[in-house]
Copies of this chain bind each other. A is one copy, B any other.
Amino acid sequence: MRASLDGGMADRVSSAAVTAQCREIFRAWGMTTEHARVTAERLEYADLHGVDSHGIALLPLYARLRAENRINFRPEPRLLRDTPVIALIDADGGLGQIAGTRATLLAIEKARAVGLAAVAVRNSNHFGAAGAYAMLGAEAGLLGMAFSAAWDAAIVPTHGAEARFGTNPLAFAAPAGEEPPFCFDVATSTVAIGKLRLAELHGRPLESGWALDGSGAVTTDPKAALASRLLTPLGGTPQLSSHKGYGLAALVEILSTMLSGASYCVSRDREKPALDVGHFFMAIDPSAFRADGGFEADVAGMMGVLRETRPARAGQPVIAPGDPEARAFADRSVNGIPLPQTLVKQVREIAADCKAAWLL
């Protein structure tokens, strides 16, 4: 048992048990066996790779969306367009992991055949960690990319006082041969809402540049920031080039929403229960570009150079993108997933509520 991020104590539970628990609950919520398996697998990626906010910890959010009738648990995703290079999928209102996984696997299959492919998804929902999809590409020996919009706006454009984008994540992963893959998986906000909650919990002020109060002014008060839910785009302030994070959030929105024909969060029809979230997935086969097969070694070489960068402070080495994920995986695949007691209690209530077996 160890102290977890939220201050409570955490037990280690095998990822097999965590994933089986998620599957049980998804089944009890009405998913097919196959959909429950796929959805739990995408959460397992996050738990195994240290993305604690996007694994089993998503169940309370999904339970709330279920209570609000926001999720179709028996979706029949439809392939609306399908060419050798692109595809478009209607997710039929199901959780994004279902259509997102299908879209990613389809992009991988196409990219293997023609070098490059993209699949857009509309009428979807929360899809978990963007990195889970990008890493499917890297595991297949390809560059994987994933983008998603969201249904609730949180990111405020530079100079604004209203949210205009979700946290609009993007992820990118690339194989590095025998080394763990390059992996980059981020929201386009400066920080996630979770960081504001953590500061409130610990009674600490926010970093200046993380969030805004209701008037659009920078605030360091976690209560004011959690009340307004106004996050800055990456960059934080106009002086530190928040227009770049703003543009990135918009880029993710265009790829996820406008290309697929999903709903832009600000303009979404709020009368309808469906959240109509859009995603965008891409895969690139490096061997299509380079006959010499040197891509993976070059990526690994760059990551090595990055790790050997002289650090600004002794004891705080430079890490390569993907290192935290690889370290968490090495630890957790052996020692299990640390589950805070508060989360276990929440999941226990969810399982009891839907009469799912208790496996943790």
> Which residues of A are interface residues toward B (Cβ below 8 A)?
81, 83-86, 88, 114-118, 120, 143, 156-162, 164, 172, 174, 182, 184, 186, 190-191, 207, 209-210, 212, 215-217, 234-236, 239-241, 243-248, 250-251, 253-255, 257-261, 264, 266-267, 284, 286, 288-292, 294-295, 298-299, 301-302, 305-306, 309-313, 316-321
A172: nearest residue on chain B (CB-CB)? B251
Report 26 cross-chain contacts, Cβ distance below 8 Å, ordered by A residue. Answer: A85-B116, A86-B115, A86-B289, A88-B290, A157-B318, A159-B319, A162-B309, A164-B309, A182-B254, A184-B251, A186-B241, A186-B244, A190-B235, A209-B240, A210-B240, A217-B312, A248-B248, A254-B299, A254-B302, A258-B295, A261-B292, A261-B298, A264-B298, A264-B301, A266-B305, A267-B301
Q: Which residues of B contact A248 (CB under 8 A)?
A: 184, 248
Cα(A212)–Cα(B309), bound, Å: 14
Most buried by B among A172, A241, A260, A284: A241
Most buried by B among A116, A234, A258: A258
A119: nearest residue on chain B (CB-CB)? B289
Interface contact A115-B244, CB-CB below 8 Å: no
Most buried by B among A115, A255, A316: A115
A297: nearest residue on chain B (CB-CB)? B258
Interface contact B86-A288, CB-CB below 8 Å: yes
Nearest CB of chain B from residue A307's CB, rounded to whole Å: 9
Q: Which residues of B contact A298 (CB under 8 A)?
A: 257-258, 261, 264
Partner of A250, one of B116, B212, B306: B306
Nearest CB of chain B from residue A351's CB, rounded to whole Å: 35
Cα(A161)–Cα(B313), bound, Å: 8
Interface contact B289-A81, CB-CB below 8 Å: yes
Cα(A291)–Cα(B244), bound, Å: 31
Interface contact B310-A161, CB-CB below 8 Å: yes
A290 in contact with B261 given A234-B241, A235-B235, A309-B157 (CB within 8 Å): yes
Cα(A260)–Cα(B299), bound, Å: 12
Cα(A160)–Cα(B312), bound, Å: 5
Interface contact A161-B244, CB-CB below 8 Å: no
Cα(A286)–Cα(B118), bound, Å: 12
Q: Which residues of B contact A190 (CB under 8 A)?
A: 235, 240-241
Q: Which residues of B contact A317 (CB under 8 A)?
A: 159
Partner of A311, one of B159, B289, B320: B159
Interface contact B258-A299, CB-CB below 8 Å: yes
Q: Which residues of B contact A156 (CB under 8 A)?
A: 309
Q: Which residues of B contact A209 (CB under 8 A)?
A: 240
Cα(A71)–Cα(B2), bound, Å: 59
Interface contact A259-B245, CB-CB below 8 Å: no
Interface contact A184-B310, CB-CB below 8 Å: no
A261: nearest residue on chain B (CB-CB)? B290
Partner of A115, one of B83, B243, B289, B290: B83
Partner of A159, one of B86, B254, B312: B312
Q: Which residues of B contact A84 (CB under 8 A)?
A: 114
Q: Which residues of B contact A158 (CB under 8 A)?
A: 318
Interface contact A85-B115, CB-CB below 8 Å: yes
Cα(A157)–Cα(B310), bound, Å: 10
Interface contact A305-B184, CB-CB below 8 Å: no
Interface contact A258-B174, CB-CB below 8 Å: yes
Nearest CB of chain B from residue A110's CB, rounded to whole Å: 9
Cα(A143)–Cα(B319), bound, Å: 33
